[in-house]
Structure 1
Amino acid sequence: MKSEKTINLLVGWLLYPLGDLVGQVLLGKFEPERILVMTLVGGLLYRFEIPAWFRMLDSICIAGRPLTWIGRTIGAMLYFNPLWIARHVFFIYLATHHFQLGTDFSGALAVILNCLVVGLKSFITNLPISVVGNLIIQTKLPVQYRFAGSATLSAIFAVSYAIEYLLFR
């Protein structure tokens, strides 16, 4: 259990911001505020909620039997859905716009709707890779390493989210 906590700590604080940094560099950018926000999100939010989701998936039984690899893969896909991606994109937006949502309600609503659209388009675009990646994570990795596997996949997606953020908005 101690090694799982150490892995989750390192993954949350380092791997998520590193993936986002790679995405920034590929786009010819470097935004310290964004790195800070992704570090905080990874270390304070993702490192707790994602492992908890994977543990919950392992605890689900249907007719007295644990979820199969298909069930766990679908469960992972349900978690990393368009809303999750939209929330991640929203964090990117906040970091790149100095935490400003606009001057009025309609401006804030436009930002939120844009993040939802980007989240949906990114989800659809990344679906084939996401299915295969989550299948590997759910079937080949023990539960204590799934967050690290998921974060590695997410770091890869962070590159695509950075690009899709520009393409799909």
Structure 2
Amino acid sequence: MAEEMRRDDRVFVMGEEVAEYQGAYKVTQGLLDEFGAKRVIDTPITEQGFAGLGVGAAFGELRPVIEFMTFNFAMQAIDQIINSAAKTLYMSGGQMGCPIVFRGPNGAASRVGAQHSQCYASWYAHCPGLKVVSPYSAADAKGLLKSAIRALNPVIFLENEVILGKFLTCRI
């Protein structure tokens, strides 16, 4: 994410605890120090609100990366994801896209209940207008995230919660 933020000053990240706490799994570690509070934005616990802000920013030619603490909480923002972001290209007759990434942990996890262990890949894969990716290796994650941030339309970026936060090497 840092590489893309250095490459394009329109890229920013927004979500719960992404700045001061550096993300629940430390994915945004160091970003606040490097890019500042205008591009690494902590939000209140209001998934629908910050997803909607991200969609609006994408309509304004910015490149938001919206982080959900877990994709289980993204259900609170499903209207923004589907009706505002995913349908824009079709509703505008191909004249307007929504370049946004919705990312966060997904699927089974250690020491959490069933309400925090659902896999949403098939849910989102069945929604027209969304691309869904779920990397497993560090190299896949790096390449897919760079591609997702550069995409012209919404991407759901589902991170494996079991390996998230572990240090994995990437030779790219």
TM-score bracket, shorter-length normalisation: under 0.3
- Greater relative contact order (CA < 8 Å, ≥ 6 in sequence): 1
Q: Which has the higher helix share?
A: 1
TM-score by length of 2: 0.25
Structure-1-length-normalised TM-score: 0.25
